[in-house]
């Protein structure tokens, strides 16, 4: 779906120091990539921007519990 070479990963400002964090890369054209910060070399979940936006909206409204 997309090449993650050059992806710039960032952690949420809500992340704590307990190691249970996800990182998101949104600088790759046409995709949003999500990965486990503890396993940076493992597989990333890759989504179209519209699906990522829908997911975030569901989290914000409480429709989906994180």
The pLDDT score that the predictor gives to residue 2 is 60
The pLDDT score that the predictor gives to residue 35 is 92
* Domain locations along the chain: 21-61
Scan for tokens 């519209």, then name that residue.
50
Element (H, E) at 11: strand 9-11
Tokens for 63? 């429709």
The pLDDT of residue 7 is above 90: yes
pTM, entire model: 0.78
Tell which phi-psi region holds residue 63, choosing left (phi > 0), alpha (psi between -120 and 50) or beta: alpha
Q: What is the pLDDT of residues 21-58, one digit of tens each?
A: 889 999 999 999 999 888 888 889 999 999 999 999 99
Nearest CA-CA partner of 46 in 66, 63, 32, 36: 32
The pLDDT score that the predictor gives to residue 18 is 76
The pLDDT of residue 66 is above 60: no
Q: Which residues have CB under 8 Å from 54's CB, separation 6+?
A: none
């Amino acid at each position: 779906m997309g090449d993650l070479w050059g992806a710039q990963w960032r952690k949420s400002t809500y992340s704590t120091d307990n190691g249970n964090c996800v990182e998101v890369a949104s600088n790759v054209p046409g995709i949003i990539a999500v990965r486990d910060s503890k396993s940076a070399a493992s597989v990333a979940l890759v989504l179209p921007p519209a699906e990522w936006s829908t997911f975030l909206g569901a989290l914000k409204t409480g429709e989906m519990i994180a």
